Amino acid sequence: MTEFLDAPTGRRIAYNRVEGEGLGIVFLGGFMSDMAGTKAVALEHWSRAQGRPFLRFDYSGHGESAGQFEDGSIGDWAEDARAAIEALTLGPQILVGSSMGGWIALLLSKRIPEQIAGLVGIAAAPDFTQDGFWAGFDAEQRETLARDGVVYLPSGYDSDYPITKRLIEDGRTQLVLREPLSLPFPVRLMQGTEDSSVTRETALRLFDHIDGEDVRLNFVKGADHSFSTAACLKMIEDAISDVLDQVGDAPSV
């Protein structure tokens, strides 16, 4: 059942939480996605079957949470994620970040490292507002952004992506691939070779940039950005289980 958290920022965040024992799992969704997506729901069912704590939520302006998507930014959504974790979980968590959620998981690893036991990235997209959107804009799009404060890009889904000037400018203050990135816990990254949103070069750049002793990257031939087939979902579950094996499944305290 959906509940709501009034975050310290004043934003109202919708969430679903499963109580349980052992290390908890937090799912961090992607850009313009919501907590009702295939991966989030599948991982909730998997966690529930194990009796394990699990949290999924909507960033502000996404899904059932309050706010307008166009008003948000990476920094806002990272604040939402931190607020949800701090208010709704106990002890270290395993973060599972999909696409933009992978970037947010990396930001949280720098800001609340004591609350992170491991990280699973699914087509993780660090720095995509700068290296993807801005780098890909032509002169006309950059002029439109400066003049109108927003440009629209095809998303491949029901509606286009509104890319705001604030999103781009805030994104530049949230970059994680330009400075050291120490992840002193197990990290499992997965990337589909047919992903049209995140390139395999991005996955390799992140893999090479991470400073950690237990970091693995798996490419899945034929998998797309959604990474939501039965086989891909099983890979995500196996990656979480692998992290649990490495860190030990101590009860949350």
Q: What's the mean pLDDT when you consider all of the chain? A: 96
CA angle, 196 then 185 then 119, to 5°: 30
Q: How far apart are CA 201 and CA 136, in angstroms?
A: 15
Residue 250 pLDDT: 60
Q: Which two tokens stand for residue 25?
A: 């799992």
Q: Is the pLDDT of residue 246 over 90?
A: yes
Q: How far apart are CA 100 and CA 80, in angstroms?
A: 13
253 confidence band (pLDDT: 50, 70, 90):
very low
CATH superfamily name and code, 3-127+175-246: Alpha/Beta hydrolase fold, catalytic domain (3.40.50.1820)
101-146: per-residue pLDDT in tens?
A: 999 999 999 999 999 999 999 999 999 999 999 999 999 999 999 9
Residue 252 pLDDT: 45
Q: How far apart are CA 253 and CA 249, in angstroms?
A: 12
160 confidence band (pLDDT: 50, 70, 90):
confident
The residue written with tokens 């992290």 in the block is 243
178-201: per-residue pLDDT in tens?
A: 999 999 999 999 999 999 999 999
